[in-house]
Structure 1
């Protein structure tokens, strides 16, 4: 029981601690390359990746 509680807290902590992408960094709207600091990834449909704004 303690192990599962400790591991759950660890996983939640690492999820919150992920570094966010700075402005003008390459990104994808689905978040697979990371999340932009501003929360806005501009990607047009023919492009493979967009950029953080």
Structure 2
């Protein structure tokens, strides 16, 4: 299963990124994406989780 976590900023190996989404694929970190296109967006305790 694939999920996307939204945050105001991410600290990545190549530096800090403001905003965007972190991909989670089968329970493992995937790519950082500045935007995502089509998905189902869930709001859990004021945090956004998207599922493709």
Range into which the TM-score falls when normalised by the shorter chain: under 0.3
Q: Which protein is richer in strand relative to its size?
A: 2
For the pair shown, the structure with the greater C-alpha radius of gyration is 1
Between the two structures, name the one with larger relative contact order (CA 8 Å, sep ≥ 6). 2
Q: TM-score, normalised by structure 1?
A: 0.26
Q: TM-score, normalised by structure 2?
A: 0.26
